Amino acid sequence: MLKRVNHIAIAVPDLGEASEVYRALGVPISEPQVLPEHGVRVCFLEFANVKLELLEAIGDGSPIAKFLGRNPAGGVHHICYDVDDLVHVAATVKNAGVRLLGNEQPKIGAHGHPVLFAHPSDLSGVLTELRA
């Protein structure tokens, strides 16, 4: 069902500064990508087994602006899991008492895959992305 962690997303106030620290620690880092339709600029930290995604807010309506308002130094914003079948997983998630966000329908996420988000309050405070 939830088989693999696809990435751990960290909201950061300044993508350049955050990248520089991880680069100094020997972590391979992707070039920044601007995703205006998602209100973020991102870099990936490529660890051997999993990716970390650094997210910087762009524009006034960025979905991570509120999080950064509450956590000005940054912090873990969400964890994303790979799943095989989003419709089946959605039903299982709801049966487990976990609320889905939005209209509960998959939408295309920041990286071109269909995704759903589950409510952090129902998953130990962790905003959870499910990605097909």
Residues in contact with a copy of itself by the rule CB under 8 A: 1-5, 8, 10-13, 18, 21-22, 24-27, 47-50, 52, 54, 71, 73-76, 79, 81, 89, 92-93, 95-98, 120-126
- For residue 116, the minimal CB distance to a copy of itself (Å) is 13
Q: Residue 117 is encoded by which pair of tokens? A: 């988000």
Q: Which is nearer to a copy of itself, 89 or 110 (CB)?
A: 89
- Is 129 among the catalytic positions? yes
The C-alpha atoms of residue 124 and residue 114 are separated, in whole angstroms, by 24
- For residue 87, the minimal CB distance to a copy of itself (Å) is 15
DSSP, residue by residue, 60-116: TT-TTHHHHHH-TT-EEEEEEEE-S-HHHHHHHHHHTTPPBSTTSS-EE-TTSSEEE
- For residue 37, the minimal CB distance to a copy of itself (Å) is 24
Q: Residue 64 is encoded by which pair of tokens? A: 């991570």
Q: Which is nearer to a copy of itself, 114 or 122 (CB)?
A: 122
Task: Enumerate the active-site residues.
Answer: 129
